[in-house]
Amino acid sequence: MTGRTHDLAGFTVLHYVLLAGSVPQMSIATAIGAIGANMIGSLAPDIDQPTGELWNKIPAGSILGRLITPILGSHRMISHSLVGIVITGYLLRWLLAILSHTIIVDMSVIWWTFMIGFVSHITFDTFTKEGVTLFFPIPIKIGFPPLAFFRIQTGGIVEKTILYPLLMLSNGYLVYANYTAYLPLLQKITHQ
């Protein structure tokens, strides 16, 4: 699945969680950071591709990408697995704890929004023909539906003309069905 679709899919899941869950009070900086963390999390599993979109977004990314990707194995291995989710969760918690000394944002919100993007990426990749090695190191590709024939081609016509518009519509529907919920949500953002 392309980075563009992953970004939108991660945001759509976050949008749903925001409306369904209980959102804590947060600063403007935390709210902005949360949206950024969700976008990065939505692209992060593809750091195992030197051409991954995340690498294009950071300085010297293409060089870093070529250094790091061989460590993670071939595409869609550990970074697209349950083990990968747990390791990423721990590493991120550790990294955010260090950053919290210099950056004043609610790191638990940042952690959750990143992980929502990360898990949504892996979930959406299961709908593609390649599938994912969800139970890495067991080298079995998992996909849904189980028959690859019914799954979609990354960057193909179904992704562009059906899935992407469907995700846009889902966001539109969420706004339409919950429009009274947004003001209380915005009031959770405090000016500090």
Query: Closest approach of Cβ 38 to Zn ion, in Å?
Result: 16
By beta-carbon proximity to Zn ion, the closer residue of 41 and 45 is 45
Backbone angles phi, psi at 178, to 5 degrees: -130, 25
Contact residues toward Zn ion (CB under 5 A) are 45-46, 125
By beta-carbon proximity to Zn ion, the closer residue of 46 and 106 is 46
What CA–CA distance (Å, rounded) separates 37 from 111? 8
Query: Closest approach of Cβ 90 to Zn ion, in Å?
Result: 20
Query: Closest approach of Cβ 125 to Zn ion, in Å?
Result: 4
Cβ pair 171, 11 in contact under 8 A? yes
Residues 6+ apart with CB under 8 A from 27: 104, 105, 106, 189, 190, 191, 192
By beta-carbon proximity to Zn ion, the closer residue of 45 and 143 is 45
